[in-house]
Structure 1
């Protein structure tokens, strides 16, 4: 009997993508918090329109960062439906 060994190639972890995604998530979180604080007048009185702009930009940066972090987490934990190939490629 011949034994067949499955040769799995090592998974290439996209470190740059993980760093960029984490930064995107953190920047979005900070902008959302600042936008909320500006909107309530806790930080300063810049007006509602500027506070809403900061809040919207924060949400636009936060949502894809959060989405990609979920994919990274699921790929790290070995969930079969997720892999690093589902992420955008920022590698050189």
Structure 2
């Protein structure tokens, strides 16, 4: 008698979630770089408070995007403790 675990179908890949995580990562990275360039004066000087605000928003967008991309990467690599069910559902 075969075990029902052997008949398990592979997990459905959440394409929209992967796109959202990638966009969060890229937008966060862009905002962090922009905030750093504003703070150092390489870009048009807009004031320290605005540069810090851009930097903080960049960090707040970057961190979850990076976290979700790590989960996606580890799931693709087949690590046992990671699965697509650990990600938020963006498939609506």
TM exceeding 0.5: yes
The residue aligned with 1:48 is: 48
How far 1:9 sits from its partner (Å)? 1.1
CA distance in 1, matches of 2:88, 2:32: 24
Deviating beyond 2 angstroms after TM superposition, the runs of 4 or more aligned structure 1 residues are: none
The answer on 1:87 being equivalent to 2:76 is no
- For normalisation by structure 1, the TM-score amounts to 0.94
CA distance in 2, matches of 1:32, 1:90: 25
Aligned residues: 90
1:30-80 per-residue CA deviation (whole Å, 9 max, x = no partner) reads 000000000001001111000000000000000000000000000000000
> 5+ residue gaps in structure 1?
none
- For normalisation by structure 2, the TM-score amounts to 0.94
